[in-house]
Every structure is written in structure tokens, then in C-alpha cells.
Amino acid sequence: MTAQTAAIIGGGVIGGGWAARLLLMGWDVRVFDPDPEAARKIAAVLDNARRALPGLSDVALPPEGRLSFHNTIPAAVADVAWIQESVPERLEIKHKTYQTLQEHCPPDAVIGSSTSGFKPSELQNGAMRPEQIVVAHPFNPVYLLPLVELVPSPKTAPEITQRAKDILTSIGMHPLHVRAEIDAHIADRLLEAVWREALWLINDGIATTEEIDNAIRYGFGLRWAQMGLFETYRIAGGEAGMRHFIEQFGPCLEWPWTKLMDVPELTDGLIDAVADQSDAQSGQYTIRALERARDDNLVSILRGLKAQDWGAGKLLNEQDRRVEGAVKLPDDLSAPIVTVERAVPLDWTDYNGHMNEARYLQAFGDATDRMMLLVGCDADYIATGGSYFTAETHICHLDEVHAGALIRIETQVLHGAGKKMHLFHRMFTGDRALATGEHMLIHVSLETRKASEPAPALAATLAKVAEAHAALPTPEGAGKAVGVRG
């Protein structure tokens, strides 16, 4: 069985999102969908994913997997490790699909269903191997949002559940193990409650679709994005915490605030009101424009959370570490050291549509940090009271670069003795030079905040690299000052 091949059965919005995430995480993906437009639709989703997903990572993603389309389920599922079923939400269609794919797929492959409405035991009913099937319910866009509700039934084999967790984690997702079967799982039950209340607010003429969306996106939605419900309310309780919050606000649950126990009838009038108000709110945008705005916003929110190592941002940092592996000096020091490999994120660009000058400095700063780490100035060393401070920086901008481009920084150590570390960085995309950065750093004592000698082990490692790099030609522009040409 090929360990890194997945099959997507049904290539709609969700199936296309699964295909994009798996492909960009290095998996080969086979798609079966009888829709003659499937290839075009998945290509559009994949274009969006290529533009947005790499910007969440501060390390190079694996090489993109191979995408293929197949006319039959047997051709798609032979020798795969993961099968994601995203066919229409009709139980008879799903049962027929499972019958066919289980006749041809490996018995130890994970079969995950994107269903939001069916429990796994309902999906497994009449299946050849019920122990192979789980619910793996994601959220749109699948290639950006990490949550996937993983729901086994009592018939699901424990090893299938564990393998599903491992695979989902390996592609940067958070498998939320739902321990009991329940209609609509967990997240959609919460969404349903908000949706019903929102319909009542429109039905009763209290609020419009735009006003309801503003209440969410400008207020509690931002809090929920990084702390969820209960952690948010714990803070609302102040220093006394959750208990105080419940004691203070718990009685409100008995007040007639909501109509959650009742559902408004979806009359033509209510449907028209929702549709008309939504058109007035967002009808001026195409779906693709809304998708891009959504992706831009999510990238910005998630990268902000990533900088804080909190919530979904912490998951992204953990995924970077998994993808990157161990950080160590290369065995061959006869060439400049690659210190940064990454895509240019959406939020690194400016009004001119290219990476702004502050981000060039950030990228070179990241390269400097990596070099410090490689020679031994890591968190443990810094905890002992020593580190490097940047004393001088000179950046030359040679060419522009845009969001989504893969950049690479190669670093040469010009001097590495005593208290000084003199670095020269070159930034490329492919073979095209984008910028150079020359940095002079001084080793300091964090106690006195004054220059000091580095520890012997660090000094020896830095000297080893500097000695090897001394055989390299002096970089063009090294030591250059800013000036006006005659």
C-alpha cells in the first residue's frame, strides 16, 4: 500500500478542499467525480489554496503531490491509505459508494466521511467492513481551517481511529475525537443553535443578515477564534474565574431570551427575506472575491495567533516543527547555508502589490536567528545569560517579489571570532536575486547588557563555519555604504 496516496470520492466544495490540503501537504491525490466540470472546479479551489495555505507556514512545505482524475471508484481507491467520501448527503448514495469502494480498496485504509448529518453507525449499516469507516467532518475551507470532527462508532476498529488521528495530524489538522455518536456531531450543533436564533431575529424583524454578521465578526467571533466559548467566559468571570461567571450569569438561562426550543417555519416570506437581505449585503461581490477576502482574513488572523503561539496558531507552529524536522548545521560547510525557505504570506505585501521593505528585514532577521540557532545560540544558551544583539544592518533591494512566491535565503559568515558575528545574506526566488542583507552582531551579557565573550563551545562552532566560509569569494556589495552615484 502506498503510504502517501489518498482518494477523494466526490470533488465538490468540500472534496476539493480536502484534495487541496492533501496535495499541498505532499500527498498524491486521486479524484473520482462523475461531474464533467470536476477538474475545472478543483483547479479553482487548488489555485486559492496554493495562494493562501503556504503563507501559514514559516518553513517550506513538502513538494506538492500529484493530482489525477479517475473514471471509476476502483481505479481511484486501489492501494491508497486514506479515502475521503464527500458525496451528496443521501444515505442510499453513501451506502452504494461504500459497497463499491470496499470491494476494491485496501482493508486497512481509513475511510472518512465528510458528512455533517449522519452518524458513523448509519454509514456503516450493511457495509462489508464497518470497522473501516469513520466520520471525518471538516470545515470550509478545508485547506485553511484545522478542525476535523473524528467520530467512530463502537464498530470502528481502534487502530483505524488512531491511524486517522495520526494522518490528520500529519497534514496540519486538529482531529477532535467525538467520543459518542450524536446527530450533527459537536460543532454543527453549536452552529445550528446560532443559525436558528438568527432566523428568528430576521423573521421577527429585529435584525438584518448584515447586522447579525456584524455582531459576530466584530465582537464575539474574534474572541471565539482564539479561545472558544468556555475560556472566553472564564475570563469574563474576572479573577474569580468560571464559577463566578456561572453564579453571576447562570440565572439568565431561565430568562426568555431565545427561541431555541422552537423553530420558525421556513415560509416563502422568511426565505425571501434572508435571500434578499443577503443579496443586499454581499451581492456586489463574486463568490471568488468573497473567497479571497475570506482567505486573506483567515491568514491574517491565523498568523497573528501563530505569533502568539496560541489556539490555532499553536497548531500551525507545531506543524512547522513537524515538517521542518531537526535543526542542525549541514555536514558540508563549503557553501553558504540555507537559513530560510518559505512562501511570502499574503500579509507581507503592501500597496504596490509586492513584499514591503519591513518584511525584507524580517526575513533577513529570521535568517540571522537561524544562524544563531545553528551555531548554538539557542533558547537554552540564552537562558544562561548570553546572546547576540544586532549592531548594524544594510539591506540592498534588487528585485520585487509577490505573495505566494517561494523565497530562499543563503547565509555566509564573513567573520566569526571574539564578540563579533558578521553575516551576509542573499535572498532568492529560484535563481533570481531579490535582495542582500549584511548584518553585524555583537555577543552580549544579558545581565550587564554589555559586550561579552561567547561561551567556548559556541565560539568554536561559529569559528568553524567562518573558517569554512573564508574560502568563498567575498560577496558583491559586502561592506558597501549607502551613497549617491556620481
pLDDT band at 257 (very low <50, low <70, confident <90, very high): low
| Mean pLDDT value across residues 150-168 | 97
CA–CA distance from 127 to each of 103, 119, 132, 179, 211 (Å)? Answer: 10, 14, 9, 21, 46
Residues of the chain with CATH 3.10.129.10: 329-469
Least confident of 66-75, 374-383, 476-485: 476-485
Instruction: Report whether 11 belongs to an annotated binding site.
Output: yes
DSSP string, 89-151: S-HHHHHHHHHHHHHHS-TTSEEEE--SS--HHHHHTT-S-GGGEEEEEE-SSTTT--EEEEE
Q: Which CATH class, in words, describes the domain spanning 329-469?
A: alpha beta
Instruction: Report whether 186 belongs to an annotated binding site.
Output: no
| Mean pLDDT value across residues 258-285 | 82
The pLDDT score that the predictor gives to residue 1 is 41
Q: Tens digit of pLDDT for each residue in 285-344?
A: 888 888 888 898 898 899 999 999 988 899 899 999 898 888 899 999 999 999 999 999
| Mean pLDDT value across residues 442-469 | 97
Superfamily of domain 5-185 in CATH is NAD(P)-binding Rossmann-like Domain (3.40.50.720)
Least confident of 114-118, 179-183, 254-258, 352-356: 254-258
Average confidence score pLDDT of the chain: 92
Instruction: Report whether 465 belongs to an annotated binding site.
Output: no
The pLDDT score that the predictor gives to residue 2 is 45
Q: Grid coordinates representing 199?
A: 432566523
- Tell me how far apart the terminal alpha carbons of the chain are, to the nearest angstrom: 67
Which is nearest to 393 in space by CA: 445, 357, 417? 357
Q: How far apart are CA 454 and CA 446, in angstroms?
A: 12
Q: Grid coordinates representing 419?
A: 564578540
Q: Grid coordinates representing 378?
A: 539557542
Report the length, in residues, of the chain. 486
Residues of the chain with CATH 3.40.50.720: 5-185
Instruction: Report whether 14 belongs to an annotated binding site.
Output: yes
The domain 188-284: what is its CATH number?
1.10.1040.10
| Mean pLDDT value across residues 442-459 | 97
Residues of the chain with CATH 1.10.1040.10: 188-284
Q: Grid coordinates representing 381?
A: 544558551
pLDDT band at 3 (very low <50, low <70, confident <90, very high): low
Name the one residue in this structure whose C-alpha cell is 434578499: 276
Q: What percent of the chain has pLDDT over 90?
A: 74
One-letter amino acid identity for 433?
A: A
Q: What are the φ/ψ torsions at residue 354 (nearest 5 degrees)?
A: -130, 175
Residue 208 has pLDDT above 70, yes or no: yes
Tell me the three-class secondary structure of 294-334, residue by residue. Answer: HHHHHHHHHHHHHHCCCCHHHHHHHHHHHHHCCCCCCCCCC
The pLDDT score that the predictor gives to residue 254 is 67
Instruction: Report whether 353 belongs to an annotated binding site.
Output: no
Q: Tens digit of pLDDT for each residue in 404-417?
A: 899 999 999 999 99
The whole model's pTM is what? 0.83
Instruction: Report whether 93 belongs to an annotated binding site.
Output: no
Residue 440 has pLDDT above 50, yes or no: yes
Q: Grid coordinates representing 475?
A: 560577496
Q: How far apart are CA 234 and CA 257, in angstroms?
A: 22
Q: How far apart are CA 46 and CA 53, in angstroms?
A: 10
